[in-house]
Each structure stands twice: as C-alpha cells, then as structure tokens.
Structure 1
Amino acid sequence: MLTILLQAAAPGGGMSQFLLIGAIFIVFYFFIMRPQQKKAKDQRKFRDELKRGMQVVTIGGLHGRILSIDEDAVWLEIDKGIKLKFDKVAIARESASKVAATTETVNS
C-alpha cells in the first residue's frame, strides 16, 4: 500500500508540464518558424522585383544577366551568345560582383 501512495503524482504536476510544453512551443516558434517565414517572404519579394539587365546567381551557383522575364521563367545570358531558361524560383540572389562594383564606384 505504501508503494502505491509513493508512486502517485504530486498535486499540480500536470499544470507545470503543460506550461513547460507551452514554453517549448513558443521558443520553437520564435527561433525557428518565424525567421524562416521572414526569409521566404524576403525571397518572394526579391523574385517579384527582378528586372531585365540585373546580374543574378541561381541556386546552383550559375552567374548571369537577365535577358527577359516571363510569368514563371527567366532567360539568363551566361556568356556572349549563351542563353539559358530558368524558373523564377531558381534565382537565389543578386550577384555579389555586381554589388561590389556598385559600392566601389560610389566610394571612388
């Protein structure tokens, strides 16, 4: 009989476990989910603002200049006479060499 009483849960223990699980969910949301949503929103905004002539880098690391933009595709000129078609979602960022050249001309 004594062992059964010793195994019984302490009163109020369920509430503290519930609060702990809630705190874990809040931390998970603010440190994992929210930053990913912000990054996806920024990436979507960048893709919507693509313009002809921009120097960009694809998710595969290919550098090129935008020739034309369709509804969901982008034509890139990789080298003189070499044109490739990519989905818009394959464009990762603006080329760092283009950004660096712009800042060098501003600083000069």
Structure 2
Amino acid sequence: MGQEGLLGFILPLVLMFAVFYFLLIRPQQKRQKERNQMLDALQKGDKVVTIGGLHGTIVELTESNATLKVSENVRLTFERSAINTVVKD
C-alpha cells in the first residue's frame, strides 16, 4: 500500500516536469541558440533592427559592440546583444 501511494504521488510530478520541459524549457533553449548564432554571424553591411526598434546598417563591429549608421551623418554604438533581428532585403 505504501508503494502505490508513493507511485501515485511521484508519477504526476514526473509527468508535469516532462510537460514543462517540452513546452517551455526546450523551446526557450532553441530560441536562445538561434539568437546566439545570429549574433555571432553579424557582419559589416548587415541591416539590423535593435530591441528598441531602431533600424540601421552595421558599419563597425567588435566583440561586444556594434556601430550602426542610422542616417547619413549619424552613427550610434550599441551592445551587440541589443540587436534583435537582421533584415533580409
């Protein structure tokens, strides 16, 4: 009787953890991996959008920073992680 009660208690917990893993944790890890690959693949000349919605073209790129040209005489420096997406033409 004690073993049935223990199994009846642990089995739902294991099932709940499996559901959380496949619905929440695993997709988040996949998105994070894709984002890191995108940030690593950045190059000069890429058109990007920052997390704040600013559109620009990368003119200088370092290990941690990206300088964007947003208009003819305006260049802004952002953390590399502030880049949200690369715009495909």
SS of the residue 2:15 aligns to:
helix
Structure ID, larger Rg: 1
Match of 1:92 in 2: 84
How many angstroms apart in 1 are the aligned matches of 2:38 and 2:86?
Answer: 9
Deviation at 1:16, TM superposition (A): 1.4
Deviation at 1:83, TM superposition (A): 0.2
User: What TM-score, normalized by structure 2, do the two folds share?
Assistant: 0.93
How many angstroms apart in 2 are the aligned matches of 1:48 and 1:18?
Answer: 42
User: What TM-score, normalized by structure 1, do the two folds share?
Assistant: 0.78
Higher relative contact order (CA 8 A, sep 6+): 2
How many angstroms apart in 1 are the aligned matches of 2:79 and 2:56?
Answer: 14
Question: RMSD of the TM alignment (CA)?
Answer: 1.1
Question: 1:85 corresponds to which letter in structure 2?
Answer: T
Give 5+ residue unaligned stretches, structure 1. 1-9, 103-108
Give me the identity figure in percent: 36
SS of the residue 1:52 aligns to:
coil
Give 5+ residue unaligned stretches, structure 2. none
Correspondence 1:78 to 2:70: yes
Match of 1:30 among 22, 27, 52: 22
Match of 1:7 in 2: none
Match of 2:49 in 1: 57
SS of the residue 2:12 aligns to:
helix
Which protein is richer in strand relative to its size? Answer: 2
Equivalent pairs, count: 88
